[in-house]
Amino acid sequence: MIKKYMELVKFQHTIFSIPFILIAMVVAANGWFGWKLLILAIIAAASARNFAMAYNRYVDRDIDAKNPRTASRPSVTGEVKEKEMLLFIGINAFVFVIAAYLINSLAFKLSVPVLFILAGYSHFKRFSELAHLILGISLGLAPIAGAVAVSGSIPCWSVFLAIGVMFWVAGFDVLYSLQDIEFDKKEHLHSIPALVGERGALFISRMFHIFTVIFWVLFAAYAHLGFFGWVGIFISAGMLYYEQMLVNRDFKNIPKAFFDVNGYLGIIFLIFIILDKV
């Protein structure tokens, strides 16, 4: 039972957002922020992502059924029924709102608008190539949420960190979409690779990742990070370069670039922020 739901939402991909929530929390607290906030933040992050992914699978089940790459998803095969998906979506939305309420008043006020943004991504690919950036915004909310959890406010540095995350996610999502370029064209779905082709998509992804580094540098400057913080950004920039080179060399490397490089990037960035602040 648990396994099929974890497969439905690819629970392991939560690794993309949680490090950046924690990065913002460590910076906002200038160190350790307490066990209560840590537990509530993880619950909020996991439930928000479960909501977003389950909603995406529910909305996209007709598209996924036509795509050989996604036809084996539990939402398509019937392993998870439509009513079960809707219940799962509702439960995770409720858990997220309750966790936000227990964090502080600003987090609670923002919780429902955040859910609408998370759900919005699933519809954008049907009419706009901006879907990649909308996905980026969805994950970019993570560091803002972390700052709100600790300080009850949205400091300037958290916005720069969030914009960097937005371009980071959009950049690797463009690379990931290269796998479906022909399918997207056939089904009239909107993606940057389908619009501009392989070479154009690679160029746009590189530009997005250059913007990522620029905004993370602004984050470091405005958050007054020390030596370890700057080292973390330097290493992250190197990992983005490596990711681009992997995909440029061979599209068969896309899964490795998407899952491995990006998964380690957030963890390494977090470690250096902890070293810097703790």
DSSP state of 126: T
57-97 pLDDT, tens digit each = 898 888 888 888 878 788 778 888 889 889 999 999 999 99
- Percent of the chain having pLDDT more than 90? 64
Q: Which residues contact 165 (CB under 8 A, 6 or more apart)?
A: 20, 136, 139, 140, 142, 143, 212
- Is residue 134 predicted with pLDDT exceeding 80? yes
Stronger pLDDT, 17 or 51, i.e. the higher one: 51
CATH of the domain at 203: 1.10.357.140
19-31 pLDDT, tens digit each = 999 999 999 999 9
Which of 8, 277, 18 is closest to 165 using CA atoms?
Answer: 18
Q: Given this model, what pLDDT does residue 64 score?
A: 83
- Is residue 207 predicted with pLDDT exceeding 90? yes
d(CA 139, CA 211): 16
CA 146 to chain CA centroid, nearest Å: 14
Query: Torsion-angle region of residue 197: left (phi > 0), alpha (psi -120 to 50) or beta?
Result: left
Number of domain units in the chain: 1
Ranking 26-30, 108-112, 215-219, 262-266 by mean pLDDT, the lowest is: 262-266
Q: Which residues contact 62 (CB under 8 A, 6 or more apart)?
A: none
246-263 pLDDT, tens digit each = 998 888 888 877 778 888
**Candidate ranges 40-49, 69-78, 121-130; pick with highest mean pLDDT:** 40-49
Residue 167 belongs to what domain range? 2-277
- Is residue 41 predicted with pLDDT exceeding 90? yes
d(CA 245, CA 248): 5
**251, amino acid identity:** F
Q: What is the mean pLDDT of residues 173-180?
A: 90
Q: Given this model, what pLDDT does residue 23 score?
A: 97
DSSP, residue by residue, 180-240:
GHHHHHHHT---HHHHHHHHHHHHHHHHHHHHHHHHHHHHHHHTT--HHHHHHHHHHHHHH
- Is residue 9 predicted with pLDDT exceeding 60? no
Q: How confident is the model at residue 265 (pLDDT cuts 50, 70, 90)?
A: very high
Q: What is the pTM of this model?
A: 0.92
Q: Given this model, what pLDDT does residue 27 score?
A: 97
